[in-house]
């Protein structure tokens, strides 16, 4: 359970970083 949650949080953080780069590029 914790491992899945940790992976989910990591995925969300990566998505957030990619989104920030996208906004900066735009």
**What is the average per-residue pLDDT within 9-18?**
96
**Percent of the chain, pLDDT > 90?**
58
Q: What is the pLDDT of residues 1-11, one digit of tens each?
A: 567 788 899 99
Tell me the pLDDT band of 22, cut-offs 50, 70 and 90: very high
- Over the chain, what is the mean pLDDT? 88
Give the whole-angstrom CA distance, residue 25 versus residue 9. Answer: 24
0.85 surpassed by pTM? no
């Amino acid at each position: 359970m914790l491992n899945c949650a940790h992976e989910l949080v990591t995925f969300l953080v990566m998505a957030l970083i990619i989104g920030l780069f996208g906004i900066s590029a735009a």
